[in-house]
Each structure stands twice: as structure tokens, then as C-alpha cells.
């Protein structure tokens, strides 16, 4: 098989027009993907609690939004999004990624129904084999995607001339970056010392904990 | 909990506060006035009406959070205190919307900047919307009164370096700048206004008007979502509301009916038009949800030679209006310059990027400085604003097209901000734009800003100020309410929030909302008592 060309070359002007015609924000198109994904064996229910064998963080966390496929998606993407900021030590690295995915799930739960629906469409598009290959141009299933392949995918969506892809890039990186860099254990990566100690010592809400 | 905490003390003393997630049965309550929303507008209205002796019920979709919950933690605060867990965006996803959802509304999470409505804005309203009674001289006593109520005064402590760099750059370039008036009392200068004031220094609705109303027998339901105002002939008979579960995302199934003589909607420039649209409120000229304004915001970040620590200190203390009205009130888009605080979660979401580049950018946070421009939208035919409509599930969504007129303003604002940062000694400057590299000099930045595409998604856009959508005016064909916030067609309905502004303000809007709500509530109290 010949190497897939860059999406900006592949998506001809006609493709682009029909993509945009599919509705503002691609709603119609992505909606179809969601239905198709459900009919074709993609995981469509929240993952709940993962088996101990399936997660490096056995903290009993119950996934309320992310499906098992979504979790695989983020296991493939996070090494490209936040990987360079992570330790190379394999166990800690896996734990940091697993913890970030849990916080992504927690965050999305608070997003509420409307934005959850948008993210469902995005994740289904990326998880469903046909659209993963034709739209995201990712040839392997996510568990088999290398970090450099994940990075190439993110770069394609970031530099794409199609707003919908830019939007997808922002959505994926923003929820990942916030869940990762916003976590107290990772504050040191941005040189943030945390709230001033003296204030915490003086304030009642920190003394009741 | 500290006995100095106003809310903790009030709850202990028996304030009538109900967490709707604890309700197990459908129920009906009645008052003289039902107020929907507890932010700048709802809080002010509740206190004034309750003090006048009227019985008041306040309805808030978000939950009651106060000092015990404010632990200077971004992730918790964004999930609990902001609309849609801080994920709210415009319809096409291109503009991030920062908006409070909790008792006190956005005043619980804003950065305390408290400006009077600029005089050119009030005069523009008088000249273009028939709002003669809102001229600056007529509004002055209301601003005076609200500044006193919310302890507004210019910030006399030295600005943090993040803000001082804006001052230094303006000084170097000969731009005007000034000190921001803040609504704080005994502020510790910590820098956590955006995640709920941990010291109760902030004098937003949560620590002033809401306690004032509750002290005067008002009743507050929080975690209660206003679904629909139900009309009986030409008047509103009652509000149907849904209790939310403790997760504040899913309705519990319990319905609450609230009956009143008068209804005041103060659910924000997105929430209020949403409620009116869901309720099929008479709208013969199709004005509800139209002319929504947002002060579109773009931003630059600079790497400074000295440590800035942009996460500490009063987040906003210096501003520049050099470019706000310079081209006239209705010329090319004007913009106000301010500074945002930078904490790790917010910064990692605002600075676009991933991988090693993102890691290296965020590593610079202690040396980072940022300037934001707030565009004054709605003063020109090419800035007609956006539209609030309903999604299939009844929730409101804002569609905001960015016109060429606004792109021109955004590009000019990029120029101004980068030039100011270099003038203040920045080593490098980066635009919040998907394609922007770090720029090493003002001349390099100037060339890059001329070249970079001004396009949705590529330019990172934000709004922290939602206005309009139920605009006021004397002409019912052009507006939803009159200059007193009274609905043109439904006699027992008033709107007391930023949704009634016929344009954007050209300054952070909280004091504009406080002042108009105080004026309009005083009149309403007189009418209802009389």
C-alpha cells in the first residue's frame, strides 16, 4: 500500500465542500457516525470500573462517560499530547496516563449533556474504523498507534485548513492538557508552587480537612 | 467553619435556603416576586425587593458554594462554579465562554474589575435606542450607590508584575493607562478571584446582596433549573422548574412550581433569552435572542526576562482605554486592554499546543505575562452580534459569527498587545493562534501579525462578558424590554441582567448590571408596593 498523503492534499475542494455542507460543525455527518459506530460494535456505554488487570491505577474509579474504546483512544493520544512531560519510568508513566484519563472523564461529566453529545460524536468518529481511516487518516486501531503516528494525526488536525478538524484538535488537546497540567502532582511542570502556604495556614477551610 | 463567614452564619441562623437536590416531592410555592438567577442582577433585585417588604423567591440552577468550598483549586472550581464545567463554547466551537453557574453567578468567579458604564456607551444608547433616561448624569447616583454597596474603589496596592508590565508598556509608548477599581474589602492580594474568593474579600452578590436578601426573609432554591414560564392569558402565572441532582448535571425528576405576582428574569445573556424562548413569551418582532454581544477577547503571551509569577496577586489592577473609543464610539472596533491571571490549568487550556512544544511553553509559566483585548462589539452595522437559540433538548446556545469588522479589530489588537509587551522588555511574544511561533522582536511580530490568517479556530477567542439578547429600547419593534427592564408585552415580567444591554458595554459589565438592576428594582418595588 502506498503511503497516505497529507490530508490537505487528499481532501479535494469537492470533499471539503461536501464536508462543510454536512452541516455547521459537521453535526449531521458526525451524527451519522455515532449511529453507525453503535451498530458496528464500537463500545457505546461508559466503561464503569476497569479490571485490575486493565488499569495501572487500581483505585476503583468508575468511568461515567468514557467508553473502553475512548480509554484506548486516550492511551494512544496522551503520550503524544503530554508524553514529553512525563517520566520515562514505565510504571509511573502508565499511572500518570491512567490518572489523566480518569480526570478527563470526571471533567466531561461536569460538561453536561450538550457538550457530552459533541464529544461523543468526535470520539465515535475517531474510534469507528472506517472514519478513523478516511477522516482522521489513522491506519492502525488506536492500541496499535505509535506515539509518532498519534503526533502526526494531531499535527494534521492542527494545521488543517478545515475548521472542524482544528476544532477537534483543540477539543482533544485542551481536555488533555487541562486534566494533566492542572493536576496538583503536575504543577511543578509549569513552575507553579501552588496556593501560598501562609494563606492556607490562615484560612479556616484548610484547617477543617 | 469560621463564624465570620456570612453564609455559614446565615445558614445556622435559619435562612430559608433549600438545596433542591434534597427534595423528594413535587411542590408549589408562592411569593410576591420570583427571581430567576442569583448573579449581579438577581442578587441586587432580591435585596432591594426583600428590603421593601416584598416576599421573594430566588431560583438558581447552580449550587451554593461559599468559603468552605473555595480552596484555590482550579480543577474543582472549573467543574463546579462555571457553566458546563468550563466547557461552554459558541455554536461552532470557536469561542470559549467563561460564565459562572453558582449562587452569585459570574460575580462569584469574576476578577473583581468594576467599571461604570462608559459615558460614550450610555450616550450611544440614548441616541440610538431612545434610552434618554440612562444618560450619564441620570445614572450617576446609581453607580455611586452600587459602588458603596459593593465596596468598589481603585486598587491602591502595587499591581502584580503581570499587570505592571501592561502599565510599563503603555508608559513607554505613550498610551494612557489607569488603575482598575475593584469590589473588594480587606483583600489578601492572593490571585484566586477566578476560583471563588477564599477570604470573603470579594464583594460580589454572594457576600453582599444575597445575604442581604436572605436576612430579609427571601427564600433561595439552589440546584433548581428554571424550565418554563407559563402564561395565563396575558400574564405569567407560574414558573416550572426542575430540581437537579447533587451532581448538578442531571434533573432528579422533582418538579417545583413557583407562583408570583411578578417575575424577574436575571439568568444571564445566554440563560435569559433561553428561558424566554422555551416559554414562548410573546415576541411579535422576533427580538428574543438577537443582538447578543460578548466582548470578543484575543490574547498574546510574552516571555519576560524577570519572573512574573502571573498566578499570584490581584488578577486585574491595570487597564488601558487608549484604543477603546479612540476612533469614535461607532468607528472601527475599539478595544479595552487588560491582563488575565495565569494558573496552570487555565494556561494549558488557553495556550494551544501539545507534545514537547507544549511542555516547553508551560515550563515558562513563571516568566509568562499575558495581555488581553476586549473588543467593543455592537456599535456598528457590521457588528450585529450573535443569536441565542435553543438546542433540541431546550438548552440555549449562542451562535456568534465573527465579522470582517471584528477580525480587523482583532488584528489591530494583536499589534497593540505585542508592541506593548516588547516595549515593556519582553524577550519573545506569542499570539494565542494555532499558527503563531514565538516572535523575537516587535518588527518580526508586526510582520507575522499582518500575515497570519484571522480565522475561526486558528485565532483563539474567548468571552467572559455575555450581554444582550433581550435588548432594551423604547421601540418594541427593535427591543424586548423598555429602559426599566419591563417587558414590552407581558406586564408582570422584568429582565434585570446583562441581557438587556442593547450593545456591549466597552468595560467589564458587573457594575453596569448592578446599577441598572438597582435602578429598575427600586422602581419595581414602588410599583408592587403601591
Q: Is B365 on the interface with A (CB under 8 A)?
A: yes
Residue A7 has pLDDT above 90, yes or no: no
pLDDT at A12: 44
Q: Is A190 on the interface with B (CB under 8 A)?
A: yes
Residue A17 has pLDDT above 70, yes or no: no
Could you identify the residue written with the cell 458496528? A40
CA angle at B279 for the pair B273 and B280, rounded to the nearest 5°: 90
DSSP secondary structure string, B225-293?
EEEEEEEETTEEEEEEEEEEPTTSSSEEEEEEEEEEEEEEE-SHHHHHHHHHHHTT---TT--TTEEEE
pLDDT at A50: 86
Residue A2 has pLDDT above 80, yes or no: no
Q: Is B362 contained in some domain? A: yes
Task: Identify the CA nearest to B146 among candidates B483, B481, B525, B522.
Answer: B522
- Separation of alpha carbons B19 and A164, rounded Å: 40
Q: Are residues B78 and B141 in the same domain?
A: yes
Q: Are residues B343 and B269 in the same domain?
A: no
Largest CA distance in chain A: 66
pLDDT at A59: 78
- Separation of alpha carbons B212 and B386, rounded Å: 35
Complex prediction ipTM: 0.95
Least-confidence region, from A42-51, A191-200, B103-112, B348-357: A42-51
Pair B203, B184: CB distance under 8 Å: yes
pLDDT at B477: 97
Residue A84: burial class (beta carbons within 10 Å; 0-12, 13-18, 19+): middle
Looking at B45-148, which runs of residues are DSSP E strands?
56-60, 95-97
Pair B363, B378: CB distance under 8 Å: no
Q: Are residues B234 and B365 in the same domain?
A: no
Residue A36 has pLDDT above 60, yes or no: yes
- Separation of alpha carbons B61 and B20, rounded Å: 9
> A98: which residues sit within 8 A by CB, 6+ positions away?
A55, A56, A57
> Mean of the pLDDT values across residues A27-35?
54
- Considering chain A, what percentage of its residues have pLDDT values greater than 70? 78
Pair B249, B84: CB distance under 8 Å: no
Q: Are residues B35 and B170 in the same domain?
A: no
Looking at B490-530, which runs of residues are DSSP E strands?
493-495
Beta bridge partners of B369: B302
Residue A15: band (very low, low, confident or very high) from pLDDT cuts 50, 70, 90: very low
- Separation of alpha carbons B79 and B63, rounded Å: 12
Question: For chain B, what is the domain count?
Answer: 2
Residue A3 has pLDDT above 60, yes or no: no
Residue A118 CB neighbours (<10 A)? 18
Q: Are residues B83 and B217 in the same domain?
A: yes
pLDDT at A4: 41
Residue A42 has pLDDT above 90, yes or no: no
Strands B178-179 and B219-222: unpaired
Give the closest-approach CA distance of B529 to chain A in angstroms. 41
The pLDDT tens digits for B330-360 are 999 999 999 999 999 999 999 999 999 999 9
Question: Which residues 242-301 of B have a C-beta within 8 angstroms of A?
Answer: 247-249
Q: Is B500 contained in some domain? A: yes
Compute the 3-state secondary structure of chain A and give helix, strand, coil in percent, each to the nearest 5.
70, 0, 30
The pLDDT tens digits for B187-233 are 999 999 999 999 999 999 999 999 999 999 999 999 999 999 999 99
Of A80, A163, A184, the CB nearest to B354: A80
Q: Among B431, B455, B479, where does a domain finish?
A: B455
- Separation of alpha carbons B69 and A203, rounded Å: 11
Interior/surface letters B366-396, b for 16+ CB within 10 angstroms, e for the rest: bbbbbbbbbbbbbbbeebbbbbbbeeeeebb
Q: Is A81 on the interface with B (CB under 8 A)?
A: yes
Q: Are residues B245 and B281 in the same domain?
A: yes
Q: What are the distances in angstroms from CA A24 to CA A35, A134, B525?
A: 19, 20, 45
Residue B1 has pLDDT above 80, yes or no: no
What is the distance between the terminal CA atoms of chain B, rounded to a whole angstrom? 42
- Considering chain B, what percentage of its residues have pLDDT values greater than 70? 99
Task: Dig out the grid coordinates for B291 from the structure.
Answer: 443582538
Q: Is B381 contained in some domain? A: no
Of A151, A190, A204, the CB nearest to B363: A190
Task: Dig out the grid coordinates for B57 from the structure.
Answer: 423567591
Q: Is B455 on the interface with A (CB under 8 A)?
A: yes
- Separation of alpha carbons B503 and B376, rounded Å: 8
In B404-509, which ranges are continuous DSSP H helix? 404-423, 442-451
Could you identify the residue written with the cell 450610555? B122
Average pLDDT, chain B: 97
- Separation of alpha carbons B226 and A113, rounded Å: 17
Task: Dig out the grid coordinates for B15 from the structure.
Answer: 435562612
Please report residues of A whose CB lies closer than 8 A to that of B436: none
Mutate to test the interface with A, among B3, B344, B402 (most CBs of A within 10 A): B344
Of A113, A163, A190, the CB nearest to B393: A113
Of B311, B354, B397, the CB nearest to A192: B311
pLDDT at A14: 39
> Mean of the pLDDT values across residues B303-319?
98
Range of the domain at B124: 6-112+115-149+206-287+470-529
Q: What are the distances in angstroms from CA B375 to CA B5, B290, B328, B457?
A: 37, 19, 14, 17
pLDDT at B182: 98
Residue A209 has pLDDT above 60, yes or no: no
Of B68, B72, B365, the CB nearest to A195: B72
Residue B312 CB neighbours (<10 A)? 21
Supply the CATH number for residue B166's domain.
3.30.410
Residue B108 CB neighbours (<10 A)? 30
Q: Among B421, B455, B489, where does a domain finish?
A: B455
Q: Is B154 contained in some domain? A: no
Task: Identify the CA nearest to A169 among candidates A81, A101, A44.
Answer: A81
Nearest residue on chain A to B351, judged by CA atoms? A174
Residue A32: burial class (beta carbons within 10 Å; 0-12, 13-18, 19+): middle
Q: Is B196 contained in some domain? A: no
Q: Are residues B84 and B223 in the same domain?
A: yes
Q: Are residues B212 and B345 in the same domain?
A: no
Residue B239: band (very low, low, confident or very high) from pLDDT cuts 50, 70, 90: very high
Interior/surface letters B259-270, b for 16+ CB within 10 angstroms, e for the rest: bbebbbbbbbbb
Task: Identify the CA nearest to B505 among candidates B273, B264, B325, B320.
Answer: B325
Give the closest-approach CA distance of B178 to chain A in angstroms. 28
Phi/psi-derived region of residue B287, left when phi > 0, alpha when psi is between -120 and 50, beta in every other case: alpha
Q: Is A106 on the interface with B (CB under 8 A)?
A: yes
Q: Is B155 contained in some domain? A: no
Q: Is B483 contained in some domain? A: yes
Residue A28: band (very low, low, confident or very high) from pLDDT cuts 50, 70, 90: very low
Q: Is B390 on the interface with A (CB under 8 A)?
A: no
Q: Are residues B97 and B211 in the same domain?
A: yes
> Mean of the pLDDT values across residues B240-269?
97
> Three-class SS of residue A47?
coil
CB contact under 8 A, B311 and A112: no
pLDDT at A21: 39
Mutate to test the interface with B, among A96, A163, A205 (most CBs of B within 10 A): A205
> Mean of the pLDDT values across residues A138-151?
98
Q: Are residues B145 and B250 in the same domain?
A: yes
Pair B509, B501: CB distance under 8 Å: yes
CB contact under 8 A, B395 and A111: no
Residue B285 CB neighbours (<10 A)? 15
- Separation of alpha carbons A83 and A98, rounded Å: 12
Q: Are residues B235 and B318 in the same domain?
A: no
Q: Is B191 contained in some domain? A: no
Residue A31 has pLDDT above 60, yes or no: no
Give CA B511 to chain center in angstroms. Answer: 10
Residue A110 has pLDDT above 50, yes or no: yes
Supply the CATH number for residue B122's domain.
3.50.50.60
- Separation of alpha carbons B467 and B294, rounded Å: 6
Amino acid at each position: 500500500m502506498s503511503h497516505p498523503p497529507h490530508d490537505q492534499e487528499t481532501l479535494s475542494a469537492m470533499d471539503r465542500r461536501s464536508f462543510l455542507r454536512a452541516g455547521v460543525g459537521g453535526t449531521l455527518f458526525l451524527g451519522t457516525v455515532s449511529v453507525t459506530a453503535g451498530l458496528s460494535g464500537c463500545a457505546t456505554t461508559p466503561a464503569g470500573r476497569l479490571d485490575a488487570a486493565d488499569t495501572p491505577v487500581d483505585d476503583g474509579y468508575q468511568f461515567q462517560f468514557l467508553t473502553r474504546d475512548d480509554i484506548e483512544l486516550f492511551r494512544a493520544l496522551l503520550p503524544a499530547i503530554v508524553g514529553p512531560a512525563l517520566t520515562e519510568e514505565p510504571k509511573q508513566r502508565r499511572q500518570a496516563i491512567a490518572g489523566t484519563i480518569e480526570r478527563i472523564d470526571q471533567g466531561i461529566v461536569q460538561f453536561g449533556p450538550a457538550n457530552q453529545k459533541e464529544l461523543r460524536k468526535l470520539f465515535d468518529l475517531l474510534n469507528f474504523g472506517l472514519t478513523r481511516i478516511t477522516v482522521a487518516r489513522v491506519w492502525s486501531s488506536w492500541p496499535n498507534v505509535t506515539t509518532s503516528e498519534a503526533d502526526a494525526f494531531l499535527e494534521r488536525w492542527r494545521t488543517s485548513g478545515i475548521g472542524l478538524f482544528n476544532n477537534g484538535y483543540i477539543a482533544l488537546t485542551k481536555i488533555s492538557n487541562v486534566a494533566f497540567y492542572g493536576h496538583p502532582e503536575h504543577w511543578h511542570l509549569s513552575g507553579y508552587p501552588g496556593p501560598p502556604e501562609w494563606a492556607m495556614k490562615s484560612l479556616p477551610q484548610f484547617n477543617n480537612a | 467553619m469560621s463564624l465570620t463567614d456570612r453564609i455559614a452564619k446565615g445558614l445556622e441562623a435559619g435562612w430559608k435556603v433549600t438545596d433542591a437536590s434534597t427534595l423528594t416531592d413535587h411542590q408549589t410555592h408562592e411569593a410576591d416576586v420570583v427571581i430567576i438567577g442569583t448573579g449581579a442582577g438577581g442578587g441586587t433585585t432580591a435585596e432591594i425587593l426583600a428590603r421593601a417588604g416584598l416576599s421573594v423567591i430566588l431560583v438558581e440552577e447552580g449550587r451554593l458554594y461559599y468559603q468552605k468550598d473555595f480552596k484555590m483549586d482550579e480543577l474543582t472550581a472549573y467543574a463546579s462554579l462555571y457553566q458546563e464545567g468550563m466547557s461552554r463554547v459558541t455554536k461552532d466551537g470557536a469561542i470559549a465562554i467563561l460564565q459562572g453557574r453558582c449562587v452569585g453567578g459570574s460575580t462569584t468567579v469574576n476578577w473583581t474589575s468594576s467599571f461604570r458604564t462608559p459615558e460614550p456607551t450610555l450616550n450611544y444608547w440614548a441616541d440610538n435606542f431612545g434610552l434618554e433616561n440612562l444618560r450619564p448624569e441620570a445614572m450617576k447616583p446609581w453607580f455611586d450607590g452600587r459602588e458603596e454597596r459593593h465596596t468598589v474603589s481603585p486598587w491602591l496596592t502595587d499591581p502584580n508584575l503581570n499587570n505592571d508590565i501592561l502599565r510599563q508598556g503603555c508608559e513607554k509608548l505613550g498610551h494612557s493607562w489607569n488603575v482598575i477599581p475593584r469590589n473588594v474589602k480587606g483583600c489578601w492580594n492572593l490571585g484566586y478571584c477566578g476560583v471563588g474568593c477564599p477570604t470573603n474579600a470579594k464583594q460580589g452578590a454572594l457576600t453582599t446582596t444575597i445575604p442581604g436578601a436572605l436576612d430579609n426573609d427571601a427564600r433561595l432554591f439552589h440546584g433548581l433549573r428554571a424550565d418554563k414560564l407559563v402564561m395565563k392569558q396575558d400574564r405569567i402565572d407560574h414558573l416550572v422548574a426542575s430540581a437537579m441532582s447533587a451532581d448538578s448535571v442531571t434533573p432528579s425528576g422533582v418538579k417545583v412550581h413557583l407562583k408570583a405576582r411578578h417575575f424577574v428574569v436575571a439568568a444571564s445573556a445566554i440563560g435569559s433569552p433561553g428561558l424566554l424562548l422555551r416559554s414562548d413569551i410573546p415576541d411579535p418582532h422576533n427580538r428574543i435572542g438577537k443582538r447578543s454581544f460578548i466582548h470578543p477577547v484575543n490574547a498574546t503571551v510574552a516571555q519576560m526576562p524577570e519572573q512574573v509569577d502571573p498566578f499570584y496577586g490581584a488578577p486585574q489592577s491595570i487597564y488601558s482605554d487608549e484604543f477603546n473609543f479612540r476612533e469614535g464610539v461607532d468607528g472601527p472596533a475599539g478595544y479595552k486592554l487588560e491582563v488575565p491571571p495565569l494558573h496552570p490549568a487555565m494556561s494549558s487550556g488557553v495556550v494551544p499546543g501539545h507534545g514537547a512544544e507544549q511542555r516547553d511553553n508551560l515550563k515558562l509559566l513563571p516568566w509568562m505575562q499575558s495581555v488581553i483585548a476586549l473588543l467593543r462589539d455592537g456599535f456598528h452595522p457590521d457588528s450585529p452580534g450573535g443569536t441565542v437559540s435553543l438546542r433540541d433538548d431546550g438548552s440555549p446556545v449562542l451562535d456568534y459569527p465573527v465579522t470582517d469588522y471584528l477580525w480587523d479589530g482583532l488584528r489591530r489588537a494583536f499589534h497593540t498587545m505585542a508592541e506593548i509587551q516588547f516595549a515593556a522588555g519582553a524577550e519573545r511574544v506569542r499570539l494565542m493562534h494555532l499558527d503563531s511561533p514565538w516572535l523575537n522582536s516587535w518588527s518580526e511580530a508586526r510582520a507575522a501579525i499582518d500575515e497570519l490568517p484571522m480565522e475561526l479556530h486558528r485565532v483563539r477567542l474567548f468571552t467572559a462578558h455575555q450581554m444582550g439578547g433581550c435588548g432594551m429600547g423604547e421601540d418594541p419593534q427593535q427591543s424586548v424590554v423598555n429602559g426599566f427592564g419591563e417587558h414590552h408585552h407581558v406586564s408582570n415580567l422584568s429582565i434585570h441582567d446583562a441581557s438587556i444591554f442593547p450593545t456591549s458595554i466597552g468595560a467589564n459589565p458587573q457594575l453596569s448590571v448592578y446599577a441598572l438592576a438597582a435602578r429598575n428594582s427600586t422602581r419595581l418595588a414602588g410599583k408592587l408596593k403601591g
